[in-house]
Structure 1
Amino acid sequence: MASVDCVVAPSLSEGFGSVHTEVCAMKKPLITTDVASIPEVIWGNVKFVSPGNAEEIVKAVKEVESHKVEGRKSNEMIPQKIFPS
């Protein structure tokens, strides 16, 4: 799991998913559904989507990816600002 950029774990019904806690422990972005106890026990870098809504999942993945790219771009700019050519 260490090599993934994001975990998508949708569910129509979930008691308590251990994969959700594993993702949080690895500090990876998580996209999951707002069902059962998941919102009560999972927090941090998580995006909740409605159960059965594929369009929300696609939108959430794109948001996670765009934030990753923006973060990478800002990290690339730091050396240029400190050590200009």
Structure 2
Amino acid sequence: MKNQADFDAGWTGKIFNSKTGKWCSGGAARNRIVALQGGAQAVKAAGFAEGIQFVAPLIEQTRAQLEATTKILGVIIQKNPNLLRGLDIDV
């Protein structure tokens, strides 16, 4: 077997080709499955969407931490305006 990972993922197992009326496997099965899913671009898009769903909680957690830190810094700067002296930023 040339590509064990594709086999394990179910890409190259037996599949029925309704156009030919025959069963196929290996590269032909992979090509058939890709075609049924809308082509290579559709498979890439599905993988991208799955990846985004995987990291979405981390992104949300980071956003919430950044928002909390920004509020805390705002309060600190309000109480200690001298902290901004010497910094090259617009407030």
| TM-score category of the 2 structures, normalised to the smaller one | 0.3 to 0.5
TM-score when normalising by structure 2:
0.34
Q: Which has the higher helix share?
A: 2
Q: Which has the higher strand share?
A: 1
Of structures 1 and 2, the larger Rg is shown by: 2
Greater relative contact order structure (CA < 8 Å, 6+ sep): 1
TM-score when normalising by structure 1:
0.35
